[in-house]
Homo-oligomer: A and B are copies of this chain.
Amino acid sequence: SQEGKHSDQSLVFADLTPEEMVQVVRYLQRSLGVPLVDAYNANPSDNCIYYVDVQIPTKAKVLGFLDRGGRRPPRQALAVVYFGNQPDPNVTEYVVGPLPKPTTHQDITVQKYGGKLPYHRRPVLGKEYEQIEIFLRRETFSAAPTFLNRVFDCNGTNFVSLTSAPRGFQSGDRSTWFALFHNVSGYFLHPVGLEVLVDHSSLNVSQWRVRKVFYNGQYYKDLVQLESEFQQGRVKVNPVTRAPPDGGFSSMQPRAPPRAPFPLQYEPHGPRYSVQNNQVISQAWNFAFGVNVNTGIRLFDIRFKGERIVYEISVQDAISVYGSNCPGGMSTRYMDGSFGIGRFMYPLVRGVDCPYSATYVDTHYLVETETPETHKNSICIFEQNSGSPLRRHYSNLQSLYYGGLTNSALVLRSIATLGNYDYVWDFIFYQNGAIEAKVQATGYMTSSFLYGDGLDYGNRVGDHTLGTVHTHSINYKVDLDVGGVNNTVVAHDMAFESVQAPWSPEHQIQRPRLTKAVLDTEDKAAFRLHSNMPRYIYFAANSENKWGHQRGYRIQIVSFTGEHLPETSLMERAISWGRYKLAVTKRKEEEPTSSSIYNQNDPWTPTVAFADFINNETIVNEDLVAWITTGFLHIPHAEDIPNTVTVGNGVSIFLRPYNYYDIDPSIYSPDGVFFTSE
């Protein structure tokens, strides 16, 4: 019953099909002229394909096609290749095309990043983690048999390790603290107190070394020393009893049997939206969706009643900065985009993750493999009736009437599991033309082993478990195009003025008055995380509504962010988007993202430093992008066990019409209700 018809225009934003991925891999194997190992099995000293994803055409080309009848831009892929088997190991990014039968590839690395990508910046492959795990078991733990046996009743094989990141203190470092946990369900909550600093910077795995060992508050040169001191009775031990396989307190097994089922939603005449390929259409909305391997969900060409409001809205990165008195914990500043938010969008469970009746869409990835992988049902689309009114008024003053409209909204959701955490990414489309981008955090916290002054860094949540304080910060790119590409940022707010009452000048009135400002430069439109910001900030069009006001879309942020990493930190520039709750920049094809997957392992020489985007350019009547940071401070507590709950841990961006229309467009909704006594 949706208004519009599907078209294949949205395909210009479409993710690669598995067939396209296969073609790109075959082309690269054929054309790069060097041996390529499957990344699944690749050593650091091999060449391999890290991932292949779609290369979206430039905005100019896309708009030429969509808006000006230009030709459809050719389909292209982005292929990221690790060259470990070279005199000058590096990561190279290629644009490969045209699809489906590629004939050319172009090295865009230097053009995109201003230089080559040193090999040490590369994200750690699953294979590398596996090799570290083997290194720990075979070469490291074997040095401390008595210690492991007496303290943990094991030889290390029932440990699982959790990586920290970044991995050192300066460019080129690749030394990672691995904290060890009992390998049970929800192991993130079962630290055993042992952490090992592994230097895995060498491309020759046999050169990897343990640089330091931490146990229960003390540091040791290596496990040999720990074993020796243990045998001399000089190690203060704090043994952890074996957890049951289901994890005990960390188990997600319900502790109560099912009873009467919870309320369910049904659609009396079926869905009122439609999904075809990567396009969603409903009565008022249509948009294209896709998944970036690294950053996750992104939407393009969002239109309300046919008019484009947003060219692109996409997740850019999610970071967490941890405190702890254990080395892994205190080192941890995860940049989830580097691990890959998109590639970890897993199947959604009907009735829990999304409504039963939702439409489920599969996604396809080619990451660390040579064959595409499908994640079934990893995006869901549904209409959700909130059970409350979008608007209503009950009149019994002069006349008796009632008007109202149910708040039933269209939702696109994915959930990415980044190791321990699960991020629920929602994009919600309301009947009044508002869009909400919402993220909720759930899943497991990570934890540190509790000892000493641990309670300065969090709450105790288990016998030996310290829930460590950390931030969650999420950055979105919002390329609003309000009434066309060229926009200006305008701020409205209120201030009190003291005036004489015109009818009684001996009396003062404290009166709210509008304040209005055009934020005409990038510097003026960059708002520090905890600075004051005008309460209404909107992207204004060149056109006016019926009442003579610049048509606009307002940005409203719901956020509970913690403190941003101090700029004195040598790695801060790598996450400098986190300085700002909102920064508006002139859109540039060369500034497509606020972060980079290469920032995590070399934050000291950031491949992308968002702060550099803000160079005080004039942003009047230009194509503008809003970069928005939202998040929350997380001090884990007992109720984060077994999982963090979404309630109170959700943050949002609203994009709301502000004089964009002449009247609330929901008045044209077919769901409106009105009755009167007459």
Instruction: Give the CA-CA distance A371 to B494 in the complex, in Å.
Output: 45
Q: What is the chain B residue whose CB lies nearest that of A261?
A: B268
Q: What is the chain B residue whose CB lies nearest that of A331?
A: B509
Interface status of A643 (Cβ within 8 A of chain B): yes
Interface status of A668 (Cβ within 8 A of chain B): yes
Known: A459-B547, A460-B549. A494 touches B391 (CB 8 A): no
Instruction: Give the CA-CA distance A254 to B633 in the complex, in Å.
Output: 43
Q: What is the chain B residue whose CB lies nearest that of A496?
A: B566
Instruction: Return the CB mask of A428-450 against B: 1 if under 8 Å, else 0.
Output: 00101110100010111000000
A669-B397 in contact (CB<8A): no
Interface status of A212 (Cβ within 8 A of chain B): yes
Shortest distance in angstroms between A538's beta carbon and chain B's nearest beta carbon?
Answer: 9
Interface status of A81 (Cβ within 8 A of chain B): no
Which of A211, A262, A403, A417 has the most chain B CB atoms inside 10 A of its CB?
Answer: A262
Select A354's contact among B387, B509, B530, beta carbons within 8 Å: B387
Which chain B residues border A511 with CB–CB below 8 Å? Answer: 323-324, 330, 457
Select A512's contact among B321, B545, B547, beta carbons within 8 Å: B321
Shortest distance in angstroms between A607's beta carbon and chain B's nearest beta carbon?
Answer: 21
Known: A214-B503, A353-B392, A394-B422. A672 touches B254 (CB 8 A): yes
Interface status of A156 (Cβ within 8 A of chain B): no
B259-A670 in contact (CB<8A): yes
Which A631-678 residues sit within 8 Å CB-CB of chain B? 633, 635, 637-648, 654, 656-674, 676
B562-A556 in contact (CB<8A): no
Shortest distance in angstroms between A563's beta carbon and chain B's nearest beta carbon?
Answer: 6
B642-A662 in contact (CB<8A): no
Q: What is the chain B residue whose CB lies nearest that of A357?
A: B263
Shortest distance in angstroms between A552's beta carbon and chain B's nearest beta carbon?
Answer: 8
Interface status of A462 (Cβ within 8 A of chain B): yes
Interface status of A393 (Cβ within 8 A of chain B): yes
Interface status of A471 (Cβ within 8 A of chain B): yes
Which A294-351 residues sit within 8 Å CB-CB of chain B? 321-324, 327, 330-331, 346-347, 349, 351
Which chain B residues border A672 with CB–CB below 8 Å? Answer: 252-256
Q: What is the chain B residue whose CB lies nearest that of A254?
A: B672
B642-A659 in contact (CB<8A): no
Question: Which of A36-44, A102-110, A405-413, A614-622 interfaces with chain B?
Answer: A405-413
Which chain B residues border A462 with CB–CB below 8 Å? Answer: 547
